Amino acid sequence: MTLHRAGEDYLKAVYVLQNDGGIVHSADIARKLKLSRASVSRGVRILLEEGLILMDRDKRLHLTKAGKKRAEQICEKHRVLEAWLIRAGVDAETAEKDACGMEHAVSDKSIEALRAQLEEQEAGNDRIYG
């Protein structure tokens, strides 16, 4: 299943909001992403159809196991990219913003390479710069 950038953003928002407070409605996603409720409603419908979220009778959104796994992968990409950008000298605010855009385009293979590079640097083996 291939989600577009917006779908990944909605899924990530559900994940983050659930971790922050537990209860998530479409309106919460709209506020977090600064989007219209209509846009979010369409996105939520796609996530429901893909089996990544469930909606209960009170219209609360819940991640399925597959949705949680996918959201965690997206968040991990973001974390690695942001850390890599900061390590490269980008200020934290810019790194966070850029990581949001990059997380949708970077392959898992590239993320693994960046993660390995960061781990090497943390261990004191900075082969890239020295």
Domain spans in the chain, listed from the N-terminal domain onward: 5-69, 72-122
Specify the pLDDT at position 21: 81
**What would be the CATH architecture of the domain defined by 72-122?**
Orthogonal Bundle (1.10)
Give the pLDDT confidence score for residue 68 in this predicted structure.
96
pLDDT number for residue 125? 58
Q: What is the pTM of this model?
A: 0.82
CATH architecture classification, 5-69: Orthogonal Bundle (1.10)
Q: Identify the pLDDT of residue 130.
A: 45
Per-residue pLDDT, 127: 52
Mark the ranges of the chain whose per-residue pLDDT is less than 70. Answer: 1-2, 125-130
State the pLDDT at residue 104: 87
Token couple for 5: 């950038």
User: What is the per-residue pLDDT for 11?
Assistant: 94
Q: In the chain, where do the E strands start and end?
A: 53-55, 61-63
Q: How far apart are CA 105 and CA 114, in angstroms?
A: 14
Give the whole-angstrom CA distance, residue 43 versus residue 88.
34
